[in-house]
Amino acid sequence: MVNTESQPSNFTGNEATPAKITTVLGAGAWGSTLAAVAERSDHHVRLWSRRGETPLESVIQDAEILLSAISMKGVKPMIDRVKAIGIPESTIIVTATKGLDTETAYTPSRLWQEAFPDHPIVVLSGPNLAKEIQNNLPAATVMASEDEAAAEAAQEMFACETFRVYINADPIGTELGGTLKNVIAIASGVCDGLHLGTNAKAALLTRALPEMIRIGTTLGASSETFFGLSGLGDLLATCDSPLSRNYQVGYGLAQGKTLEEILEHLEGTAEGVNTTQVLVRLARKEQIPVPISAQVYRLLKGKSTPQQAVEALMARELKAEFDDLFDD
């Protein structure tokens, strides 16, 4: 695992606090990066992978912080394994997964909380392209929890000179900001792949935000959270970077590749593909308008071409910019 030498600096976030034991579950791009970040902060870090030799029991039973960076499809099986082994009552569970459960539409934090009702759960989410953080470039993120002390413990564990960690008290909003933006990152890749220009991109991202907020607030999030790092911040990062796997999916579709071809060559997981299906199903059930996500859904299903998706969005009935603009 990478262990970065600290440079002399003014960083005063966590130098004086005793080292804690953190176990990171999942040695994919994000898990490996977060483990390296925690090591920069001089804590004891264990990075666990199902492909490794280390038994899960030996790394979770004394962990003060257990961070899951497992992709969505592995979250439920991982929870079952951790539950079968057991963890100390005081262990703080941090979830860094950005996805929705196919069956229940639950977020990962809800799945962890239902399995471990007495443990503090913290959500980690923000504009955090793993490759940039691996390269020691500065980044900021959010640790969100209803348990302030747990959020602060996680903040202290991961904050370092190159990784600035904020806390907030809206875990569901923080989690949905990072999750729903993956659908928009696919749309954004399409926008760039079709060379639709800067005006189109600005319109897409600006109109995506209320769509994310409509879904988020229906699920209990605070609308304010979507204007923070995990909403707007992650939209700006992911929707404008070829490092984003979700953006790459959209870009590939615009080039005329099939979804299967794109996923076959994609490095890592593009959670937005599954999130789109879950989100559109939920939006239909709750009758929430999600025009951009609905077009991404049609595109992924092969029901429209990228050009048809753009035309459909532009041909929608004209309306006021804000729903309640002319209400008294």
Ligand X SMILES: O=C(CO)COP(=O)(O)O
Ligand Y SMILES: NC(=O)C1=CN([C@@H]2O[C@H](COP(=O)(O)OP(=O)(O)OC[C@H]3O[C@@H](n4cnc5c(N)ncnc54)[C@H](OP(=O)(O)O)[C@@H]3O)[C@@H](O)[C@H]2O)C=CC1
State the binding site for sn-glycerol 3-phosphate.
98, 126, 181, 234, 244-246
CB of 196 to ligand X, least distance (A): 20
What distances in angstroms separate CA 48 from CA 32, 55, 67, 157, 268, one per listed residue? 9, 9, 10, 17, 17
Burial track 295-314 (b if 16+ CB lie within 10 A, e otherwise): bbbbbbeeebebeebbeebe
Integer Cα distance of 77 and 94 in angstroms: 16
Interface with ligand X (CB under 6 A), residue from 99, 108, 120, 127 = 127
Helix/strand/coil (H/E/C) assignment for every residue in 31-56: HHHHHHHHHHCCCEEEEECCCCCCCH
Strand partners, 143: 124, 167
Unique residue bearing structure tokens 């907020």: 213
Looking at residues 55 to 74 of the shown chain, list those that interact with ligand Y (rule: CB under 6 A): 69-74
**What residues form the annotated binding site for NADPH?**
30, 50-51, 98, 130, 245, 271
Integer Cα distance of 260 and 257 in angstroms: 8
Contact flag: residue 210 with ligand Y (CB under 6 A):
no
CB of 171 to ligand Y, least distance (A): 15
Integer Cα distance of 144 and 125 in angstroms: 8
CB of 313 to ligand Y, least distance (A): 25
Tally the residues of the chain: 328
Q: For ligand Y, which stretch binds (CB under 6 A), given 15-23, 28-36, 153-161, 255-263?
A: 28-36
Identity of the residue, 194 or 239, whose beta carbon is nearer to ligand Y in the bound complex: 239
Integer Cα distance of 316 and 247 in angstroms: 24
Q: Is 181 a catalytic residue?
A: yes
Contact flag: residue 234 with ligand X (CB under 6 A):
yes
Interface with ligand X (CB under 6 A), residue from 60, 69, 129, 253 = 129
Contact flag: residue 34 with ligand X (CB under 6 A):
no
CB of 69 to ligand Y, least distance (A): 5
Interface contacts to ligand X, rule CB under 6 A: 98, 127-129, 178, 182, 185, 234, 237-238, 244-246, 271
Interface contacts to ligand Y, rule CB under 6 A: 26-31, 49-51, 69-74, 77-78, 96-99, 128-130, 268-269, 271
